[in-house]
């Protein structure tokens, strides 16, 4: 039998075999048996050595054609088997629709957002509304209109980032007081809070170059220090617990007179003194005071007609107290192990 006949026979047998194949793995085996390095085709082609030189190209070309045809037949059969296999699997598959699904991790609020909203809610409940102001602020609103002229030494406590000339990143939410008074004067009552970000050149365990405050401002006829104290007591009890007390310590802010710092009684020891309150029984939570007549006048109110009180608290500080967090920077590192606890 000559080589060409042998090749044709090989093709015929291969086709017969391929058409009978039932599984993809059997098909894989047959592919190797026929076309593999040590397969049937290779072994037939060993006979090429005995051919006359002019015969070789013709037989070589025939061998290539036959290899291609067998490969095509294998591929076609493979496709049929794959489709049949999928159908069989789908027909046999059963779904238990009552099995629980894969849980999806649900996000939640950042603890500082939570606290800011809690503070806001408490004051909304007392009849305040929310006012907002820009974070890039003019020197005038951030300092001067708050009774802090250019060379005032109290500016040192609030060293900040100057953007250009008289534009600063605001050091406090207090400029929103001025913006609100300018907008509303001479109308009363004014009753606003203003939560937002502020910036200072500070960075340690209890200070961050960016932090958040909530400002408060009330202006009306006959507002006194008594209104301030009762408002802040109501706030402290809703925020920290009904058993809490507050005390006012005389302090200084340029935009209030008199000014005070407010402490809340320590929740850990109940006021008897412990490590958390450094033995004093009290923890500082905010600054406040009676609005300075200069500030009222500059913003369009007559200090003979109306008076007001104002306060400002740090949101991070309130959150640290409420949750017992000892390092402010935890809030900003975005470590999920920390954040997920709230
Ligand atoms: N702005 C002050 C600060 O950042 C806090 C403050 C004190 C706000 C007294 C007030 C206030 O409205 O009356 O330190």
Q: Considering only CA atoms, which residue is closest to atom 2 of ligand 1?
A: 312
| Distance (Å, whole) CA 273 – CA 282 | 8
Q: Residue 67 C-alpha to ligand 1 middle, in angstroms?
A: 88
231 lines ligand 1 (CB under 6 A): no
Q: Are residues 316 and 186 in the same domain?
A: yes
158 Cβ partners below 8 Å, 6+ apart? 171, 172, 200
Q: Are residues 307 and 176 in the same domain?
A: yes
Whether 276 is in a domain gets the answer: yes
* Residue 40 pLDDT: 92
Whether 102 is in a domain gets the answer: no
Most confident of 146-155, 197-206, 243-252: 243-252
Whether 106 is in a domain gets the answer: no
289 lines ligand 1 (CB under 6 A): yes
Whether 38 is in a domain gets the answer: yes
Of 315, 334, 328, 319, nearest to 205 by C-alpha is 328
Query: Is-contact 207 213, C-beta < 8 A?
Result: no
Q: Are residues 180 and 255 in the same domain?
A: yes
| Pocket mutation for ligand 1, best pick of 253, 259, 318 (most atoms within 8 Å of C-beta) | 253
With cut-offs at 50, 70 and 90, classify the pLDDT of residue 92.
confident
Q: Are residues 62 and 139 in the same domain?
A: no
Whether 15 is in a domain gets the answer: yes
Q: Of 61, 92, 123, which residue is a domain's last? A: 92
pLDDT digits (tens, 9 = 90+) for 166-197: 999 999 999 999 999 999 999 999 999 999 99
Instruction: Work out how many domains the chain is built from and give that number.
Output: 2
**1 has a pLDDT exceeding 80:** no
For range 245-263, the mean pLDDT: 97
214 lines ligand 1 (CB under 6 A): no
150 Cβ partners below 8 Å, 6+ apart? 139, 143, 144
Question: What CATH number is attached to the domain comprising 126?
Answer: 3.30.930.10
| Pocket mutation for ligand 1, best pick of 146, 177, 288, 292 (most atoms within 8 Å of C-beta) | 288
What's the Cα-to-Cα distance from 321 to each of 44, 104, 215, 281, 285, rounded to whole Å?
88, 32, 18, 14, 9
Query: Is-contact 189 219, C-beta < 8 A?
Result: yes
The alpha carbon torsion through 19, 21, 22, 23 (nearest 10 deg) reads: -130
- By percentage, how much of the chain surpasses pLDDT 90? 77
Query: Is-contact 197 211, C-beta < 8 A?
Result: yes
| Pocket mutation for ligand 1, best pick of 172, 180, 214 (most atoms within 8 Å of C-beta) | 172
Ligand 1 atom showing the smallest separation from residue 198 Cα: 4
Residue found by looking up tokens 């997920």 in the block = 340
Say which range, 136-140, 200-204, 294-298, has the weakest mean pLDDT.
200-204
Whether 103 is in a domain gets the answer: no
Say which range, 4-13, 236-245, 249-258, 286-295, has the weakest mean pLDDT.
4-13
pLDDT digits (tens, 9 = 90+) for 29-57: 999 999 999 999 998 888 888 888 888 89
Rounded to the nearest integer, the mean pLDDT of the chain is 93
Q: Are residues 88 and 143 in the same domain?
A: no
Of 289, 266, 288, nearest to 279 by C-alpha is 266
With cut-offs at 50, 70 and 90, classify the pLDDT of residue 203.
confident
Q: Are residues 262 and 126 in the same domain?
A: yes
Ligand 1 atom showing the smallest separation from residue 313 Cα: 5
Whether 104 is in a domain gets the answer: no
Residue found by looking up tokens 């025939």 in the block = 62
pLDDT digits (tens, 9 = 90+) for 100-123: 989 998 888 999 999 999 999 999
174 lines ligand 1 (CB under 6 A): yes
Q: Are residues 235 and 118 in the same domain?
A: yes
Query: Is-contact 78 28, C-beta < 8 A?
Result: no
pLDDT digits (tens, 9 = 90+) for 303-331: 999 999 999 999 999 999 999 998 999 99
215 lines ligand 1 (CB under 6 A): yes
* Residue 52 pLDDT: 87
116 Cβ partners below 8 Å, 6+ apart? 195, 212, 214, 315
Q: Are residues 257 and 152 in the same domain?
A: yes
With cut-offs at 50, 70 and 90, classify the pLDDT of residue 86.
confident
Whether 27 is in a domain gets the answer: yes
Say whether 211 sits in a helix, a strand or coil.
strand
* Residue 260 pLDDT: 98
Q: Are residues 133 and 250 in the same domain?
A: yes
- By percentage, how much of the chain surpasses pLDDT 70? 100
Q: Are residues 300 and 177 in the same domain?
A: yes
Q: Residue 276 C-alpha to ligand 1 middle, in angstroms?
A: 24
Domain interval for residue 197: 111-339
Q: Which helix (H) or strand (E) holds 167?
A: strand 167-169
Q: Residue 337 C-alpha to ligand 1 middle, in angstroms?
A: 33
Say whether 313 sits in a helix, a strand or coil.
strand
Q: Are residues 137 and 51 in the same domain?
A: no
What are the structure tokens assigned to 230, written together? Answer: 């009762």
pTM: 0.72
Provide the sign of the torsion angle of the four alpha carbons 272, 275, 278, 284, taken in this order: negative
Q: Residue 292 C-alpha to ligand 1 middle, in angstroms?
A: 12
Higher pLDDT residue, 31 or 1?
Answer: 31
pLDDT digits (tens, 9 = 90+) for 279-305: 999 999 999 999 999 999 999 999 999
Q: Are residues 34 and 168 in the same domain?
A: no
């Amino acid at each position: 039998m000559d080589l060409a006949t042998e090749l044709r026979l090989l093709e015929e047998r291969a086709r017969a075999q391929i058409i009978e194949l039932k599984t993809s793995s059997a098909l894989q085996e047959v592919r190797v048996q026929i076309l593999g390095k040590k397969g049937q085709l290779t072994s037939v082609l060993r006979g090429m050595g005995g051919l006359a030189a002019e015969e070789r190209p013709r037989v070589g070309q025939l061998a290539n054609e036959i290899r291609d045809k067998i490969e095509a037949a294998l591929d076609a059969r493979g496709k049929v088997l794959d489709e049949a296999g999928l159908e069989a699997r789908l027909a046999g598959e059963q779904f238990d629709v009552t099995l629980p699904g894969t849980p999806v991790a649900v996000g939640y609020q950042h603890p500082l957002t939570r606290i800011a909203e809690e503070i806001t809610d408490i004051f909304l409940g007392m009849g305040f509304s929310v006012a907002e102001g820009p974070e890039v602020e003019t020197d005038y609103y951030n300092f001067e209109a708050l009774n802090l002229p250019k060379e005032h030494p109290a500016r040192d406590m609030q060293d900040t980032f100057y953007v250009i000339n008289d534009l600063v990143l605001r050091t406090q939410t207090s400029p929103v007081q001025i913006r609100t008074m300018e907008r509303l004067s001479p109308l009363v009552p004014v009753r606003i809070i203003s939560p937002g970000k502020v910036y200072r050149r500070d960075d340690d365990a209890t200070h961050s170059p960016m932090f958040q405050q909530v400002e408060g401002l009330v202006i009306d006829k006959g507002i006194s220090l008594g209104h301030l104290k009762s408002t802040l007591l109501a706030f402290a009890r809703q925020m920290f617990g009904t058993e809490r007390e507050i005390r006012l310590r005389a302090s200084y802010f340029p935009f209030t007179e008199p000014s005070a710092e407010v402490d809340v009684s320590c929740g850990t020891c109940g006021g008897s003194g412990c490590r958390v309150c450094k033995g004093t029984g009290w923890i500082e939570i905010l600054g406040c005071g009676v609005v300075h007549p200069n500030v009222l006048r500059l913003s369009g109110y007559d200090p003979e007609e109306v008076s007001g009180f104002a306060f400002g608290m740090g949101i991070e500080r309130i959150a640290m107290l409420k949750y017992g967090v000892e390092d402010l920077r935890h809030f900003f590192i975005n470590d999920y192990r920390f954040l997920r606890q709230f």
